[in-house]
A = this chain, B = another copy of it.
């Protein structure tokens, strides 16, 4: 097992990465405030892993309540969030009860937001079961639900007390979801870790074959990158925005196509190609760099072209981005492969051209 620390002062927490963690209630117990938990999961992950976690906790004397949500980004809304509140109140969960989110990014985002809001804040643990959640969304305390006009528009910064990434849970992950997770893994290489980027290029086949050692390394290195950025800028006043490479374009794809049509990681891959294309048009990276990114995404079985929503609709959805300042889009672009920057000076025309060039 590998362990990392997210250095956030009195809200610091550990990330454990390894096999068989779901059965190790002993890792969870010290993080509970009382012997009571409420587990939030979905109807895909629940049947596979809920009983394993529940019995580990119950055998350790912990009282367990559960709620099983419908799976998918299309349900990351208030209505589904409210099912968590209904359960917490019906089961008389207290503000000292610990909420455990067992699932992918959607479950983690909603479980975390519910924990942030229930009785104005209850303790919270992330047990991510997808690669995407293990390398990205479970770490750093961003929680949210979607609004019809924009993804993740309503949420909170609310840190978990523990993240348990059990690599065993990846055994049942569909190939498409594995690839989606790789989009975020590749992202860390592109924004700040060129050595990791080269490692991914070398080891991508092992990752796709779900080789344990390769996955463990990729998850740990990704989490370490994320933990460093979050510790330096918890509420995204600056550097943290770099983690959003490809996300402004990608959120437009997700919102425009209807939540759940594209997986988040797929939209991030296509969005990253748009960011790369714009970086190239600005003269920051070369054609061969764009081709290198494209080749890596393609090998990872990720889309490298955005859907034809129409440039106007892209720009419309992007105008709601959380990084907009004084009406101006601030985009994460690539100064080089391995070095991302925030750029607020791209013109509408330049942005439109990059979208146009990467839609098919």
Contacts and interface: CB of A to CB of B under 8 A. Distances in A.
Interface stretch (A9-17, A86-94, A178-186, A268-276): A86-94
A320 B156 contact: no
A154 B85 contact: yes
Contact of A156 (B78, B156, B325): B156
A155 interface: yes
A215 to B, nearest CB: 30
A256 interface: no
Contacts of A76: none
Contacts of A49: none
A95 B236 CA distance: 11
Copies of this chain assembled into the complex: 2
B156 A89 contact: no
A96 interface: yes
A326 interface: yes
Interface string A138-160: 00001110010110011111000
Nearest to A145: B117
Size range of the chain A interface in the assembly: 35 or more
A355 B141 CA distance: 42
Given A320-B89, A326-B34, A121 B156 contact: yes
A116 interface: yes
Contacts of A153: 85, 89, 118-119
Given A94-B322, A120-B157, 19 more contacts: A78-B78, A85-B153, A85-B154, A86-B149, A89-B149, A94-B325, A94-B326, A95-B322, A96-B325, A117-B117, A117-B154, A117-B155, A117-B156, A118-B153, A118-B154, A119-B155, A120-B143, A120-B144, A156-B156
30 contacts: A34-B326, A78-B78, A78-B82, A85-B147, A85-B153, A85-B154, A86-B149, A89-B147, A89-B149, A89-B150, A89-B320, A90-B149, A92-B327, A94-B324, A94-B326, A95-B322, A96-B325, A116-B156, A117-B154, A117-B155, A118-B154, A119-B155, A119-B322, A120-B143, A120-B155, A120-B156, A120-B157, A120-B322, A121-B156, A121-B235
Q: Which 6 pairs from chain A and chain B are nearest by CB?
A: A89-B149, A119-B322, A117-B154, A120-B155, A94-B324, A120-B157
Interface of A: 34, 78, 82, 85-86, 89-90, 92, 94-96, 116-121, 142-144, 147, 149-150, 153-157, 235, 319-320, 322, 324-327
